[in-house]
Structure 1
Amino acid sequence: MPSTTVVVVTWRGRDHITACLDALAEQRPHRTLVLDNASDDGTAALVAAHPTGPTAVRLPRNAGYAGALAAVLPHVDTEFIAWLNDDAVPDAGWLGHLEDALRAAPGAAAATSSLLLADGATQSVGVRLTADGHGADLVRAGHEVFGFCGGAALLRTDALKSCGGVPSGFFCYYEDTDTAFRLRLAGHRVIPVGPARVRHRHGASTNPGSRLFHRWNERNRLLMLLRCAPARVAVAQVARFAALTAVLPFRRAPEAGNFRLPLRLQVLAEVVLRLPATAVQRFAIGRRAKVSRAAVWRDWAGR
């Protein structure tokens, strides 16, 4: 039995998923599971014809990155589960480095890779938690990390399941920071593994800077805080977002896409509609926690 199930989530990945699957063929023995988010561009045929014979599951609709990961998690029974973007191409030793690092760190539940952009620049060596609750990529090695970048990471399957799995309702973005926060609340660590290198075609499936990008990022950050952060922090950040939104009609707004009034109103509406379910989730997360929200926030926010 292999130790790891590598889950590759794809949506219209015809132009790049072959490179990802080719690279996985060079890894330590593992199971590859491709989650196809109802692609309509021929991706399914490419996956079916790939010589490595990955297991493919085609979802009836696009459930997003988070939704696809959540859908497959109950069926994963290996020691580890790897999250891998379909536009990511890991170096040959990638999986071995991650598995060895987690086995050598029994207190750690997740290991994050070194993601490199096409020009060789570093995209992420892990995620930090900012003072106002953003998950921000670290680009310099040698730092402790709060969380992992979900584009290429390895997690202990049991730890992921016991902390509540993947927040399927996020659709896309912040599912990794939310999961890292819950792992921290459960008393686990997240470690960076520098030699586990991945080349990432950033934004191949989504368009950074687009309206959807900003909508998911802004909404999911607030939902993550409402689920995981101390109550005073979560309420303060939602109130701050609402206050900035309220004054936009009366002042010159920044050019950034996340300051457009219709988008921010939509984000607030979606957060409000999700408040009852989010409150239930917050209660469940708190019951499972072994470390207080205040302690995690004190130790990591703003570092």
Structure 2
Amino acid sequence: MTTSSGTSRIVLAVTEVSSTVVVVTWRGAGHITACLDALACQDRPHRTLVIDNASDDGTAALLAAHPSKPRIVRLPRNSGYAGAMDVALSLVDTPLLAWLNDDAEPAADWLGALEDALGAAAAAGARLERPDGATQSLGVHLTADGYGADAASEPVFGFCGGAALLRTDVLRSIGGVPASFFCYYEDTDTAWRLRLAGHDIVAVPSARVTHRHGVSTRPGSRQFHRWNERNRLLTLIRCAPAAVAVRELARFAAITAVLPVRRNVPRAANFRVSLRFQVVAEVMLRLPAALWARRAIGRFATVPRGQVWRNWADR
């Protein structure tokens, strides 16, 4: 309070909001409240945007009743995590955009830790922990065959999409989120394009998030492996050196071809012949769009694809 000529004047401090936290949910009635409660306890001001993928389990009512009053956008159909994030990107008007899974509960200083550690980087990833406290992921590690795997140590190739902070304008400048992926590899593909454009990605172990991994998508299921295998190959076509993309496409097709006559086939769903044929068919159907995206990515890339691969594959 200040005084002037015997009168009182109240001066209100306006705190600038830098980040919008985007939560994508689908049938999240069993866990969305805990996620929003944790966001309401953040020690850094922010906006919360929830994209509801046409949930039919009471999620909409829970969102509408939550005391934090998040902005809610309900989609007419389930567009997956990638599709919903693409919608969110068109709506966000803050400099920073956080990705947060609806089955995640961030610690109170999670967002502040990410904002403070971002520095000149384009993206910062959090530490995802299982409910028992064990570390699930510090980010994404790029394997020698082009899989995006959970990274257990720094430095990281990319961020895990379960909990991360990105610069909104940079994300838009590299083509946004690959909406057609539906689910999985949207984070690896985005991180790869950031690397190609010369941007840094940092891991922030102090930004802790408890993550009930796979509540909606059931890791190990047929759908999980379908999205995982298909989107890995599409990411390679879009982002990897041509020789790597061709090699992995040929390897996937060759393994698929010999499975019917092979003995002792692994029982995992990604070795089912019908699933693998579906993956091949979907990749071929999407190949023209993936090649078009590859050309577009090449136009904004400042680091050669081969250099990114040598720097990060199986590091």
Query: Taking structure 2 as the reference length, what is the TM-score of the superposition?
Result: 0.94
State the Cα deviation string for residues 60-110 of structure 1 (Å, max 9, x = none).
Answer: 0000000000012012111100000000000000000000011xx21x100
Give the match for residue 289 of structure 1.
301
**SS class of match (1:302):** coil
CA shift, 1:254, in A, is 1.2
Flag the structure with larger Rg: 2
State the Cα deviation string for residues 140-161 of structure 1 (Å, max 9, x = none).
Answer: x4x2000000000000111110
C-alpha distance in 2, partners of 1:255/1:2?
49
Once the two structures are superposed, the pairs formed by residues 182-193 of structure 1 within 5 Å of their partners are 182-193=193-204
CA shift, 1:138, in A, is 1.4
Give the match for residue 162 of structure 1.
173
**SS class of match (1:296):** helix
**SS class of match (1:75):** coil
Give the match for residue 68 of structure 1.
84
- The one of 133, 140, 151 equivalent to 1:127 is 140
- 4+ runs deviating over 3 angstroms: none
Query: Taking structure 1 as the reference length, what is the TM-score of the superposition?
Result: 0.97
State the Cα deviation string for residues 153-192 of structure 1 (Å, max 9, x = none).
Answer: 0001111100110000000000000000000001001100
State the Cα deviation string for residues 176-210 of structure 1 (Å, max 9, x = none).
Answer: 00000000001001100011000001111110000
CA shift, 1:26, in A, is 1.2
Give the match for residue 221 of structure 2.
210
- The one of 74, 80, 97 equivalent to 2:113 is 97
**SS class of match (1:274):** helix
User: Identity of counterpart residues, as a percentage?
Assistant: 71
Unaligned stretches of 5+ residues in structure 2: 1-15
Give the match for residue 17 of structure 1.
32
C-alpha distance in 1, partners of 2:292/2:307?
22
Alignment coverage as a number of residue pairs: 298
- The one of 42, 49, 57 equivalent to 1:33 is 49
Give the match for residue 186 of structure 2.
175
Give the match for residue 248 of structure 1.
259
C-alpha distance in 1, partners of 2:46/2:242?
41
Q: Output the aligned Cα RMSD.
A: 0.7
- The one of 283, 288, 297 equivalent to 1:276 is 288
Give the match for residue 250 of structure 2.
239
